[in-house]
Amino acid sequence: MTCLNRILVQKFAYGAHGLFILLLLGAHLVFPTSVQAKDIENIFIVKHIVVRVPRSDDPAKNESTQGMLEAQKIAFKRLIQKMLTPQEQTSRNLFIKDIQRDIKDFLQRSIIVSEKQTSRYVEMTIDIHFNKEKVIQSLELAGISFCETPYPKTLLIVDDALSTSSLLHPILSAFTNAVNVYGFEIEQPIRDMEDLANLSLITDSNRREEFRTWALNRYSTQKIWKLSVDGLDSAVIPEAVPGQSMLRWKLVELGEGGLTYQFLKTSAAQQESKNKAKGKQFENPALELVKRIVIPWTSSHIVMSGLSNFLDVAVVNSDNLDLQDGLIKKFESIPGVEKVSYLEMSSDRVKLRIQYSGNEIDVKDKLAQFGAIDPGDGTEMIIRLP
């Protein structure tokens, strides 16, 4: 082989080797992204749980472990809060408390985002990941209706009069904390030339749909809120408090069927004071406002229980466990009954859910043979034990 041929072969080998390395790097870059995307689809993420754990002189106590356990409990409560309507949370409170005892079964990972240590405490911000399949399966088995679709990412537009005010930071902080509780994101316009040109479309009711399309394309936001305050520029003097300016806070949900929410009245003099707790007065009103907006969304996106056919049976005077166990076995022996599960339990009353396939009348007839009474009003059947 001539010297020239050896050089050409070496160049080809190096080139092929380099190409192979590039392909490997490309696969390395692409593969984690696809895995990550798939992973996100299989989890519920509760972000930005902030916990503060006091320092302890006991070497057996680990502040980070304590903080992690506390954050997991808070995250589970928030997860349930955004998935279930208030009515469902109240009526199924006993079940929720029961599954919370086994919270480890639902956890996938816990990630410490930040940690600050002082001589008195350890403060951590933690993201908690729950296994979506296990959470949903538990809710379905109990016959609980739930929403697994979080409120959409929202563009929050601040009125020009508020954008230069010292009130902006505390109100935005309050809204950020509130939306974290309900598990969605808010985005603010960066106010560059493109933003300024399109934000003016808000005032034209005929171009609102055009504005919503623009916001979706630029910020991936499906909802638009506009925050404003009346009385910031021109004082509105209430008769009850002469000489004192009042600020009336409101949020407008832009778009089809949008609503206006009046959510807070504050004193302008109080706002301008250097009170350390100035931002605190926004926290509860912002949380209540977000709750008022999110609950209708949750209710309208409810996924009914996976149990296609079920009957609820209330067993009264059920403190005799032997009688109760015998009754459940009888229910399970009914043709067509697939599962009998507990819904609620108190000292003298148990509610059971009977999952079945087939004809409801046949199952009710069999239950009647065991002493079940059908009130006929669409509620659960009742059995009174001696």
pLDDT of residue 60: 78
pLDDT tens by residue, 212-244:
999 999 999 999 999 998 876 543 434 334 445
Q: Which of 181, 140, 150 is nearest to 288 (CA)?
A: 181
Using DSSP bridges, classify how beta strands 186-187 and 381-384 pair: parallel, antiparallel or unpaired: unpaired
Residue 287: both structure tokens together: 């949380």
pLDDT of residue 27: 44
* Residue that is written with structure tokens 């689809």 in the block: 41
Phi-psi region of 130 (alpha: psi -120 to 50; beta: other; left: phi over 0): beta
Strand order across the beta sheet in which 260-267 lies = 186-187, 154-158, 223-230, 246-254, 260-267
pLDDT of residue 248: 87
Q: Which of 109, 168, 100, 108 is nearest to 138 (CA)?
A: 100
pTM: 0.65
pLDDT tens by residue, 322-378:
777 888 889 999 988 888 877 777 667 788 888 887 778 888 889 999 889 988 766
pLDDT tens across the length of the chain (386 residues): 444 343 333 433 444 444 444 444 444 444 444 444 445 568 999 999 999 999 988 877 888 899 999 999 999 999 999 999 888 888 888 888 888 888 899 999 999 999 999 989 999 999 999 999 999 888 887 778 889 888 999 999 999 888 888 888 999 999 999 999 999 999 999 999 999 999 988 888 888 889 999 999 999 999 999 999 887 654 343 433 444 567 888 999 887 666 888 888 877 655 555 444 456 788 999 999 999 999 888 888 887 655 457 788 988 876 667 777 888 889 999 988 888 877 777 667 788 888 887 778 888 889 999 889 988 766 688 998 87
Strand order across the beta sheet in which 349-356 lies = 337-345, 349-356, 310-316, 381-384
C-alpha distances in Å from residue 331, one per residue of 313, 320, 326, 339, 351: 10, 17, 9, 9, 13
Residue 13: both structure tokens together: 């080998």
